[in-house]
Amino acid sequence: MRQFLRRCLLSFAPPHTQVGDLIVVTGWFNGPYVIEGAAVAPSSCEKAEPMAFDTPAPSDLMLAPVRSAAELRRFIDLPNRLNAEDPNWVVPLMYERMAALTPKTNPFFDHAEVQLWLAVRDGRDVGRISAQIDRLATESGAGKTGNFGMIAGEDDPEVFGLLLRTAEAWLRERGCTQALGPFNLSINEEVGLLVDGFDSKPMVMMGHDPRYAGARVEEQGYVKAKDVYAYVCDPRAALPPVVVRRIKRGLPAGVTMRQLDMKRYDEEVKALTSILNDAWSENWGFVPTTEAETAQLGKALKDVIDPRLVLFAEIDGEVAAFIVLLPNVNEAIEGLKGKLLPFGWARLLWRLKVKRVKSIRIPLMGLKKKFADSLRGQVLPFHLMNAGRDAGIALGYDKFEFSWILEDNMPMRRISEAMGARIYKTYRLYEKTL
């Protein structure tokens, strides 16, 4: 298993759907790491002179940009210490996080400018944050909105205040007039701050934050922009009668379903990402997936994908929709303490391939807009989800998560609830005028 999951996306129609997040990563970290100036693509927010802080930091609390591989490791490791007493915290794999935050191994940096910081007090790391401007987001209608993300800190208003003021100043000096986040690092990745659902572990590439984090952010003048939900269900539970009746009618004329064809893998991945970009184009916060991200997605998934859990639907011979179900890797990495060497690889593979995890996430689904208003298109989500449900049950999975879903994406919410799912986690996106 040479590649690993890093990026996760969700698109769902009819008639409007919302991005979730699929994260993929390839390769090992190759230093040296310098985050400042790493992204080469210009942003639509104007570049500025080196920033000056509006409010000086207290003498015992300092903030420094992340410039080296050693500092990046500290940046990644900080939440592990902050959440050490939380039984629901899952330590991420260090190599995967290093790759996700390294320009050489994450195509996001090709079209974004990013800066990371560490807050230090008395020689101890006490907070972290990122600020980023995604050129593709601003070109897609976000205007002069910049993002913050990767936020974590000790339960101290002073720490959160310094972190957010620093990110705001960096965005402001690049011409941004609004801050939106957290995005880790983009809307197509891990988003939001957990504000409800602290009593269970997060699934693969979903966040988990301390209970105090939301209040600390709100103290700095941030207000709710959007909530996104994670739904959960027991796939073995009986479906509502109305759904059963709809599925029992069978597929409409001209509609067929099939598994992923590994012999045409590259072509299948291109079809998948084409549907994603088409289905999301009118959604809140839409950012298209680039060719480089498509290539990386295909390369990374090839080593972990189960073709039985990737289904395509065709209408009159044209690929119209798909669904991807991903094993919850967080079950497999628990207890590895973020390390794959010397024996972590063997334990991870045994858990994934032999013991097998019991939960699964549906982060990736899409339907072409041209079919969203047709009767045939409108039944495809139910048939795809039911076929994925049957495949998952046959492979021994007993817990499904649908995530993430915007609070106002009522079509997706109704479909999830019709399939027996309920909201069990809420993540909040915050905004502030700069």
pLDDT of residue 282: 82
Determine the Cα–Cα distance for residues 127 and 159; give it in Å rounded to an integer: 7
Strands (E), 223-317: 223-233, 255-259, 310-315
Angle, CA 244 vertex, CA 243 and CA 249 arms, to 5°: 100
Instruction: Give the global pTM.
Output: 0.85
Residue 22 pLDDT > 50: no
- Other Cβ atoms less than 10 A from the Cβ of 66: the count is 24
* Residue range 4-33: mean pLDDT, rounded: 32
Say if CB 366 and CB 322 are below 8 A apart.
Answer: yes
Residue 116 pLDDT > 90: yes
pLDDT of residue 343: 62
- pLDDT tens for 343-364 read 676 777 767 776 789 999 998 8
* Residue range 146-152: mean pLDDT, rounded: 97
Say if CB 272 and CB 295 are below 8 A apart.
Answer: no
Determine the Cα–Cα distance for residues 300 and 324; give it in Å rounded to an integer: 14
pLDDT category at 283 given cuts 50, 70, 90 is confident
Lowest mean pLDDT among 13-22, 75-84, 266-275: 13-22
pLDDT category at 142 given cuts 50, 70, 90 is low
Task: Supply the angle between the helices 375-394 and 241-248 in degrees, to the nearest 10.
Answer: 100
Determine the Cα–Cα distance for residues 169 and 116; give it in Å rounded to an integer: 13
pLDDT category at 337 given cuts 50, 70, 90 is confident
Q: Would you state the structure tokens that stand for residue 125, as one six-digit string?
A: 């790391």
* Residue range 12-18: mean pLDDT, rounded: 34
What Å distances lie between residue 128 and 87, 326, 368, CA to CA?
22, 30, 39
Check residues 344 and 260 and name the one with the higher pLDDT.
260
Q: Would you state the structure tokens that stand for residue 351, as one six-digit string?
A: 């858990």
Task: Report the candidate in 197, 167, 199, 210 with the shortest Cα–Cα distance to residue 80.
Answer: 210
Q: What DSSP assignment string belongs to 81-97?
A: HHTTT-TT--PPPHHHH
Say if CB 390 and CB 406 are below 8 A apart.
Answer: no
pLDDT of residue 32: 30
Residue 342 pLDDT > 90: no
In the chain, what are the domains?
27-225 (3.40.630.30), 241-426 (3.40.630.30)
Say if CB 169 and CB 162 are below 8 A apart.
Answer: no
Q: Which residue has the tokens 């998948």?
A: 272
Residue 23 pLDDT > 80: no
Residue 70 pLDDT > 70: yes
Residue 14 pLDDT > 60: no
Instruction: Give 250-257 contacts, CB < 8 A, sequence gap 24+.
Output: 251/379, 251/383, 252/375, 252/376, 252/379, 254/315, 254/316, 254/376, 255/313, 255/314, 255/315, 255/376, 255/380, 255/383, 256/313, 256/314, 257/311, 257/312, 257/313, 257/314, 257/383, 257/384, 257/387
Residue 314 pLDDT > 70: yes
pLDDT of residue 43: 45
What Å distances lie between residue 140 and 135, 371, 408, CA to CA?
9, 23, 20
